[in-house]
Amino acid sequence: MNINNILVKAESSLEENNFSAAKSFFLKALKKVPHHIDSLNKLAFIEIKEGNKENAIKFLEKSLIFNPSQPQIYSNLALCQHELKDSSNALENLNKAIAIDSTSALYFFNRGKVFSEINEFNNAEMDYLKAIELNKDYYQAYLNLGVIYNKQFKYKNACIVFEKLLARNPEFSDVYYNLGVSYDNNKNIDKAIKYYNKAIERDQKTIMQCLIYHVFISSKKNLSKDGNYFNTDGLKQTNHCS
């Protein structure tokens, strides 16, 4: 079977989410053409989907040997390394991606995530702001920026960012809870309650992670016990920054 037929079968298997068959065909393709970039990248993609970050890194690093000027490969490699807690190499590869393409909001956003999770908040802030500059509708960058402002006790800044996000996308439900937290920390209890309620209205099952703040606020303001402000059925803890 020639390589073109092998690749057709590989792509067909991948489209059907038959990762085992796709992997087998892409590996066959590499035996015929060891430097076949697309096969290496697709194999990395499959390994990521299957949760095998170490194997994905091997394919991505090999891909870079043959194609060292592709920023997306550096970014994908960095994300795998970051998930394996290798922040140093993740940052190095994101720096390379940005050096090749400084117009991608995604690369700045990804680097901001790495900085944020190693508590380098000033660097994270600059990268999230750059991502927003490059893409005014990068809603997750607004959200993550507001979250790190809260972590630094810059509650007014967090409120401003979350309000801007709501103005651009009022359907982005996660922001209502985070805005409630920001106003709560900024001692504006009325606005905190307003946005907690809006969060609950939008998603009873997943946004009601405000249990802690519900208890906290109840001790400061005479909320009724009949659920007028909060209904705590089905509380579920979720992450606010991703």
Question: Domain locations in the chain?
Answer: 138-242
Q: What is the CA radius of gyration of the chain?
A: 22
Closest CA to 177 of 161, 164, 193, 190: 193
Which pLDDT does position 204 carry in this prediction? 64
- Find the angle CA(81)-CA(37)-CA(77) to the nearest 5 degrees: 10
Which pLDDT does position 231 carry in this prediction? 34
Provide the token pair at 121: 């908040």
Long-range contacts of 209-212 (CB under 8 A, 24+ apart): 209/177, 209/235, 209/236, 209/237, 209/238, 209/240, 210/177, 210/180, 210/181, 211/235
In a structure prediction context, what are the per-residue pLDDT tens digits for the chain, which is 242 residues long? 788 999 999 999 999 999 999 999 999 999 999 999 999 999 999 999 999 999 999 999 999 999 999 999 999 999 999 999 999 999 999 999 999 999 999 999 999 999 999 999 999 999 999 999 999 999 999 999 999 999 999 999 999 999 999 998 888 778 888 888 888 888 888 888 888 888 877 766 544 555 545 545 544 444 433 333 333 333 333 344 45
Q: Angle at which helices 139-151 and 121-134 pack, to 10 degrees?
A: 160
Which pLDDT does position 135 carry in this prediction? 96
Task: Say what the pTM is.
Answer: 0.79
Fold annotation for 138-242: 1.25.40
Which pLDDT does position 115 carry in this prediction? 97
